[in-house]
Homo-oligomer: A and B are copies of this chain.
Amino acid sequence: MSDKKVRIGLLGTGRIGQVHAMSIGANPNVELTYVADVFVEGAKKVADQFGGKVTADPAEVFASGEVDAVIVAAPTPTHVDLISAAIDAGVHVLCEKPIDLDIARVETLRAKANGAKTLVSLGFNRRFDQQFNEIQARTAAGEIGNLEQLTIISRDPAPAPKAYLEVSGGIFRDQTIHDFDMARFFVPNIVEVYASGANSFSDDIKSLGDYDSAVVTLRGDNNELITIINSRHASYGYDQRLEAFGSKGALLATNVSPTTVKLYNDKTVEGRNPYMEFFLERYEYSYRRELELFVEGIQTGKNNNPTFDDGRAALMIADAATESAKTGKAIKIDLA
């Protein structure tokens, strides 16, 4: 492995962009050399703390010759163009999910992405969560025999603001897409999807023609039955659990608690404080690990992160789920 620091340009300095900036700051093998955001003040603030030149224009970053890689944390509609530009510039790219909300646009980029000489990685950070990663590895190693069923419970603590929801692409393309990728982490080839959406609590979401709750059944090519249970809220915090059930056993991951402290009194026993607030707290480790693996990939030339095609597959499943929820029919899918 080269011991030269990997020079990174950060494109986008919103909430997720700042998370990546922190990961960069904590990683001794990388150097933040450029920060780009049309909202230049945001870029400046990040650069003040973590270093790097500031620009409003990503093109300047690609032209600079001062970045080995970029992290794309700009709004979703920019992703396809920025990935494309990175490939043209011969720069490695780690792009936040999703590639785009429109599978047609994704397809136009597919051949180029897969033929790129630089890494094109997608930000499905949950694959790097200690719990889920451990279960996937132990399942793949045969510890529970043949995988038969996978159950993913994934509930946000509270809905995003309406302005965000309006451009989110709907629950399946925005929230469930993480779970679709998690399903594919265990079972890469999904062949069927059935989705049920419901409006249980949010008039805002209903008014957008979107769902606040959903249950999805996927079928893998080895007949694995995969269940995803989603909600846009959970009173007790961010609810992220996973259960792999196999012919010889099961592996379960319960929620991560910030503490092991339990209270016993005359009203309750073994109770604890509610769970981690949201994904920044819950998946803090996996964001850091994602960057580490991206850097390792750059240094070794071998991609360890989810690829462009992983991003495309998750969106195809999301599209099928959206159609299924509307039609009440199971939708066959072919990820090839």
Contacts and interface: CB of A to CB of B under 8 A. Distances in A.
Given A148-B200, A248-B235, A266-B236, A271 B274 contact: no
Contact of A201 (B134, B146, B274): B146
A260 B239 CA distance: 13
A251 B274 contact: no
Contacts of A194: 194, 196, 217, 328, 330
Interface in A271-321: 271-275
Contacts of A196: 192, 194, 217, 219, 225, 330
Contacts of A237: 269
B262 A149 contact: no
A231 B253 contact: no
B274 A268 contact: yes
Interface in A12-42: 26
B247 A264 contact: no
A258 B285 CA distance: 12
Nearest to A223: B198
A298 to B, nearest CB: 22
A12 to B, nearest CB: 23
A93 interface: no
A151 interface: yes
A329 interface: yes
Contacts of A269: 236-237, 255, 257, 271-275
Contact of A259 (B131, B231, B262, B274): B131
A259 B330 contact: no
Interface string A151-190: 1010100000000000000000000000000000000000
A214 interface: yes
A215 B217 contact: yes
Contacts of A253: 259-262
Q: Which of A135, A143, A196 has the most CB of B within 10 A?
A: A196
A322 interface: no
Nearest to A266: B235
Contact of A236 (B223, B250, B258): B250
Contacts of A131: 259-261
A199 interface: yes
Given A26-B26, A330-B328, A225 B213 contact: yes
A231 B252 CA distance: 16
A2 B201 CA distance: 48
A219 B197 CA distance: 10
Contact of A263 (B192, B214, B251, B259): B251
A30 B192 CA distance: 53
A144 interface: yes
15 contacts: A135-B261, A198-B224, A199-B223, A213-B223, A215-B217, A215-B225, A227-B227, A233-B247, A234-B250, A235-B248, A236-B264, A251-B262, A252-B264, A254-B262, A257-B269
Interface of A: 26, 130-131, 134-135, 138, 143-146, 148-149, 151, 153, 155, 192, 194, 196, 198-201, 213-215, 217, 219, 223-225, 227, 229, 231, 233-237, 245, 247-275, 328-330
